[in-house]
A and B are shown apart, each in its own frame.
Chain A
Amino acid sequence: AQKVTQAQTEISVVEKEDVTLDCVYETRDTTYYLFWYKQPPSGELVFLIRRNSFDEQNEISGRYSWNFQKSTSSFNFTITASQVVDSAVYFCALSKDSGNTPLVFGKGTRLSVIA
């Protein structure tokens, strides 16, 4: 069965610090997709990134970067120079299986950025 583990329940940082959110996944599929979503206090899940299992290149988008390592089944998310607006719950998710598209989510990491 697919599983996503986000071991960090809550993280608190001071503004401008860098922070890394960990995500470890389990799957028997050779083809799969990984996602990160942000859930701000308003509650709506906001899509951040999608990565397929064949593409291990790291990705950078502004202050956000992602490190995908198949060898350790991890897909970690780093925010550089954090801002108060980054405060939210962040979810890592895995496509359910190679023939089916619903997502399996981790329990999320609540990030608080303090001014």
Chain B
Amino acid sequence: GAGVSQTPSNKVTEKGKYVELRCDPISGHTALYWYRQSLGQGPEFLIYFQGTGAADDSGLPNDRFFAVRPEGSVSTLKIQRTERGDSAVYLCASSLTGLVGDTQYFGPGTRLTVL
């Protein structure tokens, strides 16, 4: 079956602009996660959804970052007034139940470059 998909694969923007990153999870997966991976680092948690609601957004670095999942499937990560420090690969993952220990399956990521 289809895995997690993310669009766009690459996004280049200018400092101060607004961007949206999209994630389409595996069909039937109730939990969806966003992570950010900087060069040479492991992924860092941003936010996770159980269904339509954000169950944990403690990883969002500041209020410029926001994410939604209005119908419990596709999610959009939104970044306002982008800064050069936001440049990273943004990874999305989904899991079937979201219960502790449930395996998370990752998408290919969106590489964001802020000039």
Q: Which residues on A are within 8 Å of B, measured CB to CB?
A: 4, 31, 33, 35, 37, 42-47, 50, 52, 91, 93, 95-96, 98-108
Contact = CB atoms under 8 A, between A and B. Distances in A.
Interface residues of B, number: 29
A102 B100 contact: no
Nearest to A44: B108
A47 B100 contact: no
Interface string B92-104: 0101001111111
Interface of B: 31, 33, 35, 40-45, 48, 55-56, 59, 89, 91, 93, 95, 98-109
B103 A43 contact: no
B42 A105 contact: yes
Contacts of B33: 101-103
Given A98-B100, A101-B31, A44 B48 contact: no
Given A104-B45, A106-B42, A44 B107 contact: yes
Given A31-B100, A98-B100, A47 B89 contact: no
Nearest to A50: B103
Nearest to B104: A103
Given A42-B108, A45-B91, A102-B59, A35 B42 contact: no
Nearest to B6: A44
Given A43-B89, A45-B43, A101 B103 contact: no
A44 B109 contact: yes
